[in-house]
């Protein structure tokens, strides 16, 4: 008998023939109606067989999140018991990709929008990661009031790209803060990260390439040093639109200069490059397009 409840979309897998998802299986809904997509949501694939709840219309996980999670985890021992923090975690896409890639890590997120934090918590539960992942509702700029005195070995963040007044803000309440600096910009993310960073820890932030000077200034003000700078080119011959920086908290210690990198997503024919296929492989996604 029908319950009258309208459900959203459970996305089917679009994978090359013979490709098998690596990593742990998700726990699934287990009869919990909250772990099924609502009418305005879909449940999409993320890393391996892990999934993410998203709104059908509004801000959704993107290339920016994938590259941020990859830079943050690419040189990490997956068996190391790290403490990880994702600032402004939204739906939890970066948080969950990092947790999937680092199965021994304890991962926290901070998100000011309670509805987005709740969706992220449902994704954590669906994937069976609740024992080591959580999202705290609060403004990341409140620092210790939200996070206590915990220090983290790895901190990630994908701040909104646009200062207020530089474009048209979405009428959707959950979408505008993802693109516009309603609760601070990259400087605030870096200041909070520096205050929460454990000795020897690393910060990874994604930003618009237009804001490189702001990233450098924010790092300097927070006594963080940029160790790697990644320019992400969407297609060969096009300019980079986003950048990902890896920073450490030992800015006063003499060290080698910032290492520049360029990662091109597609070649001139529109095909994924070997470098980008390696990113997808590392995060448990098919590295060849489905047929």
Does residue 246 belong to any structural domain of this protein?
yes
Does residue 175 belong to any structural domain of this protein?
yes
Structure confidence by residue, pLDDT tens digits, 103-134: 999 999 999 999 999 999 999 999 999 999 99
Residue 117 Cα distances to 95, 239, 247, 275, angstroms? 12, 33, 26, 32
Does residue 34 belong to any structural domain of this protein?
no
Does residue 3 belong to any structural domain of this protein?
no
**What range defines the domain where residue 225 resides?**
60-282
Q: Is the pTM for the entire model greater than 0.85?
A: yes
Compute the Cα dihedral for 158, 84, 283, 224 and give only its sign.
positive
Structure confidence by residue, pLDDT tens digits, 163-174: 644 544 445 555
Burial of 227 (0-12, 13-18, 19+ CB in 10 A): middle
Does residue 80 belong to any structural domain of this protein?
yes
Does residue 23 belong to any structural domain of this protein?
no
The CATH number of whichever domain residue 125 belongs to comes to 3.40.50.150
Q: Which helix (H) or strand (E) holds 63?
A: helix 63-73
Structural domain tally of the chain? 1
Per the model's pLDDT, the better-predicted residue between 149 and 165 turns out to be 149
Does residue 245 belong to any structural domain of this protein?
yes
Does residue 42 belong to any structural domain of this protein?
no
Structure confidence by residue, pLDDT tens digits, 18-33: 999 999 999 999 999 9
Which one, of 52, 140, 45, 137, lies nearest residue 91 by Cα?
Answer: 52
């Amino acid at each position: 008998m029908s319950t009258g409840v309208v459900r959203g979309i459970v996305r089917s897998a679009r994978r090359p023939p013979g490709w098998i998802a690596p990593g742990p299986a998700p726990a699934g809904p287990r009869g919990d109606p909250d772990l099924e997509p609502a009418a305005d949501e879909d449940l999409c694939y993320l890393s391996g067989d892990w999934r993410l709840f998203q709104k059908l219309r509004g801000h959704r996980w993107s290339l920016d999140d994938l590259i941020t999670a990859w830079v943050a985890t690419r040189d990490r021992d997956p068996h190391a018991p790290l403490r990880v923090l994702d600032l402004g975690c939204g739906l939890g896409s970066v948080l969950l990709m990092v947790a999937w890639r680092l199965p021994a890590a304890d991962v926290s997120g901070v998100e000011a929008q309670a509805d987005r934090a709740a969706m992220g918590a449902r994704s954590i539960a669906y994937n069976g990661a609740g024992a080591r992942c959580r999202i705290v509702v609060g403004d990341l700029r409140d620092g210790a009031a939200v996070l206590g005195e915990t220090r983290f070995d790895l901190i990630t963040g994908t701040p909104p790209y646009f200062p207020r007044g530089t474009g048209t803000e979405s009428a959707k309440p959950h979408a505008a803060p993802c693109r516009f600096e309603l609760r601070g910009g990259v400087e605030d993310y870096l200041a909070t990260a520096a205050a929460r960073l454990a000795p020897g820890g690393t910060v990874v932030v994604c930003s618009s390439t237009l804001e490189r000077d702001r990233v450098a200034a924010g790092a300097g003000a927070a006594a963080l040093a940029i160790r790697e700078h990644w320019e992400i080119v969407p297609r060969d011959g096009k300019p980079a639109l986003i950048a990902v920086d890896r920073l450490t908290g030992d800015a006063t210690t003499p060290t080698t200069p910032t290492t520049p990198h360029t990662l091109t997503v597609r070649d001139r024919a529109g095909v994924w490059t070997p470098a980008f296929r390696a990113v997808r492989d590392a995060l448990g996604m098919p590295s060849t397009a489905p047929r």
